[in-house]
Structure 1
């Protein structure tokens, strides 16, 4: 082919121009990779801060590679372009390690079934209901914080999937959608203890019967699946004598999403039943009671 012979002749006659031309192609290739990766990050990373840092990191690594490439090319100490590509790839991997971890985390979440949308979890100190899981982020509706009990705060949180590799994950609903809760009741000394116990146990059994029945079946599944001992799911009452009152500690199982409403219902029903005892059972408090006012003689 005449044009091939022409190119070979031109290269032989103009080695300097050919070297510059080859260098320009290498630089253009590196710049093209930088822009390509920047555009990929702009589309895939939704978090503004993470996107900005990743793009800046890629630019810095690209310019460092260009400097190494220029020095090596013109000094002739490194002639193999594959080494430059290797350095550039290593730099990309270091800069985007959080992104790669997030993608790996999403696969881990899906395959191992760590959690799924609708689960209530706590991860990295953040508690909430999972409302979406994508390739990079887990989106949660936050609960708790400044709001008492397990109520929504109204804040939607996006958390990197990489956190599944960095700490424990607390799942409130996987396999066993119930939790144990406790209620403390201060009973005044002198109250009818047997009557007080019967009131608490009766009300707890009535209100919690559905949770107790459903949890028994599901707890058997947990025992069969994991290396764990059997547990008592029926309401249990423990009594502790304190300096000020007799403390009733009611421990019971409840649906993880109905903890607050159930506790309110227990308090309300127990208070109503205690009032019906006409003073036989009295709820205690830290209020000071003056039995007798000492006489004061004025001289």
Structure 2
């Protein structure tokens, strides 16, 4: 103990730090070391116990914020003794509410994201004209791996977008994957008026049935789980082909369920199969914008042809 007193006296004489300040510095250093060791230990425990990468990420983030919050509280007690805490926070909050309106809005939105979870890391969302996969969540912003923009069919652009959390309170957010993990995709196929459109429709229906996402039991269970959580109701979950007449031919639109991240790949597979199947048919052909002359007197139905003038 005598050596400690001498060390304290030496520091006071040459550094100007009183024994009380020296004690607070030692307590602060011990607190930071203990907090770091606790964080490392809990992270390792989480890595052993939690196999899901997404849950492990959220756990580390929550652990970081929780330990940081308690460290700040204890540091307050060490250096200020907790005196005037309520009055200080009252004055501070009034000033911060005006000066830091946007950061506080972002912080409130972070609490909303954490508790209500409109999205989590890994979800595909669209907000404020931007769309992408959520790759990070922080106190003041979240990050997206951008999709779309100049790249078609919801493919990744390679850019990372950082969006303030407060945007949740001002912009509409769309979640591609929460609850109902599938999206509807439509592929219009136009055939000529001379084609056997009924045969073409049967071919397209068979192709859509082979590529729909709800064939697996996993997909069916996801749909049932979404129906329990949200008021989601679809009259038909099986693929369907709709018929419409356009200027250049008969449009047959395939509508089917697909995984949001497989929209382009599934569309490619479907189109390749359509091209192969239609090539085998002599009475089905693709239509495209054309200009033609139609002589009703020669080509029209007998009941619609103009009558010859009476003698």
TM-score range, shorter chain: 0.5 to 0.7
1:233 aligns with 2:237: yes
Aligned counterpart for 2:284 among listed residues 281, 289, 295: 281
Q: Which has the larger radius of gyration?
A: 1
Q: CA RMSD in A?
A: 2.5
Partner of 1:206: 210
Distance 2:169 2:249 in 1: 47
Q: CA 1:251/1:213 → structure 2, altered by over 3 Å: closer, same or farther?
A: farther
Pairwise CA distance, 1:90: 3.0
Given the alignment of the two structures, is residue 101 of structure 1 paired with residue 108 of structure 2, yes or no? no
What TM-score results when the alignment is normalised by the length of structure 2?
0.62
Contact 2:187/2:255 (CA < 8 Å) preserved in 1?
yes
**Does the 8 Å contact 1:223/1:230 carry over to 2?**
no
Q: Note if 1:158 corresponds to 2:176.
A: no
1:291 offset after TM fit, Å? Answer: 9.3
Question: Judging changes above 3 Å, is the alpha-carbon distance between structure 1 residues 126 and 281 closer, same or farther for their aligned structure 2 residues?
Answer: same
Aligned partner (choices 112, 124, 129) of residue 116 of structure 2: 112
Secondary structure of 1:257's aligned partner: helix
- Which whole-Å deviations, capped at 9, do the CAs of 1:17-48 have from their partners, x for residues lacking one? xxxxxxxxxxxxxxxxxxxxxxxxxxxxxxxx
Whole-Å Cα distance in 2 between the matches of residues 84 and 103 of structure 1? Answer: 20
| TM-score, scaled relative to structure 1 | 0.64
Contact kept in structure 2, 1:215 and 1:233, CA below 8 Å:
no
Which residue in the other structure is 1:124 paired with?
128
Query: What SS is found at the alignment partner of 1:198?
Result: helix
Where do 5+ consecutive residues of structure 1 fail to align? 1-82, 293-299
How far is the alpha carbon of 1:140 from its aligned partner?
0.7
Q: Determine the structure 1 residue equivalent to 2:185.
A: 181
User: CA contact under 8 A between 1:176 and 1:218: conserved in structure 2?
Assistant: yes
Please give the alpha-carbon distance, in whole angstroms, between the structure 2 residues aligned to 1:173 and 1:233.
17
Contact 1:185 1:248 in 2 (8 A): yes
Note the residue ranges of structure 2 that are not aligned, 5 or more in a row.
1-86, 296-311
More displaced, 156-165 or 229-238? 229-238
1:203 CA displacement: 1.1
Contact 2:239 2:255 in 1 (8 A): yes
Quick check: 219-228 or 182-191, which moved more? 219-228
Kindly indicate whether residue 147 of structure 2 is the aligned counterpart of residue 147 of structure 1: no
CA contact (8 A) 1:140 1:157 kept: yes
Q: Deviations over 1:205-228 (max 9, x none)?
A: 112265565433222222222233
Change (3 A) 1:176 1:229: closer
For residue 124 of structure 1, report the CA deviation from its aligned partner. Answer: 1.6
8 Å CA contact 2:208, 2:270 repeated in 1: yes
Report how far residue 104 of structure 1 moved. 1.3
Distance in 1 separating the partners of 2:239 and 2:148: 26
